[in-house]
Amino acid sequence: MWASFFVTDEEGRTMSPAAPGPVGGPAPGPAQGAAGLAGLMSGRSTFGGTKRRRTTSAGHGMSEAQEGKIKLAFFVAIVGMVLTVLGVGTDFWVELSPQKTFYNNQTCVTAHFGLWKGCTKTLWVSDIDPERKSCGPAELPGVDSDSNCTNFKFFTSGENAVMFQKTTQKNLNVAAAMLALFSLFLMAMGSICIIMSLSKEILFFLKPAAVCFIVSGVLLFLSLMVFHQAVLALLASDHAVPLHHELSWSASCMGCAGAVLVVGGVLFLLLALPCSLWQRCFAQKNGAS
């Protein structure tokens, strides 16, 4: 039975136990058995530890410092996502306002709209800054307590909206909305990649996450550009009512969100590199010196 029993040590060599002593001699005591069991357990523990070290050196694991940097970059990306949701869900992308004395000397009408609906509001001329020539801003308290808001029918019946006798261009408005929605989808995909990278301790997921966040930020800038072209097309559709237009705080949120997302994507891309750029620069300087 002892001849067929072999033990493998830490280095992979096969060892056989010592031959049993003569009959009547001292039998293996419990101390020898405990030592052998401890050797086997230490061999298994060393093998497991060696495997963990190999995984980490191969780039599949991450240290605590790397995990902290990833969480910090993810916080930056979360700020961009919150700003995006705030901008997409609000209706203060642009404000349209005629001259404050265009209708009468007591009230004037201003309008603001976003991706999904437009609102009009009647303001008291006395509440407007005397140095301001146009009606607005829309945040002022008006004649009515609430604004008169109407959802756009671009996505249902395909009808254009009419504001101040001017007609919108539904193709441009729909394109701006679709770019913003696709940007939100890429943000969700990037967040899933970061969560998997932190939970599985795999740095590979940082690269697709970086691409998702950078592309989502670029799409937000494109959405702003297309929306601005839609506003210009609206103003050029009819010149009966001269209007003053200005981008409002919702558009500012989208612009800031695009910049923050691009920065977050670049941070993830730098963290995904096998070694930092600073170490490479220092190595080149030392070699040159």
Domain ranges for the chain:
64-273
Q: What is the mean pLDDT of residues 239-260?
A: 91
Q: At 75, which amino acid appears?
A: F
Q: What is the pLDDT of residues 140-178, one digit of tens each?
A: 887 776 668 889 988 888 888 888 888 888 899 999 999
Least confident residue range of 20-24, 38-42, 119-123, 200-204: 38-42
Q: What is the pLDDT of residues 185-218, one digit of tens each?
A: 999 999 999 999 888 888 888 999 999 999 999 9
Q: In the 3-class helix/strand/coil scheme, how is 175-229 assigned residue by residue?
A: HHHHHHHHHHHHHHHHHHHHHHHHHHCCHHHHHHHHHHHHHHHHHHHHHHHHHHH
Tell how strand 94-97 and strand 244-247 pair up. antiparallel
Pick from 138, 177, 178, 165: nearest CA to 234: 165
What pLDDT digit, counting tens, does each position of 65-114 carry?
Answer: 888 899 999 999 999 999 999 999 999 999 998 888 777 778 888 899 99
Amino acid at 63: S
The CATH code belonging to domain 64-273 is 1.20.140.150
Q: State residue 122 phi and psi, 5-degree precision.
A: -100, 125
- Return the SS3 of 17: coil
Angle between helices 170-200 and 249-271 (to 10 degrees): 40
Task: Check whether 179 has a pLDDT greater than 60.
Answer: yes
Percent of the chain with pLDDT over 70: 72
**CA-to-CA distance for 287 and 279, rounded, in angstroms?**
12
| pTM across the whole model | 0.73
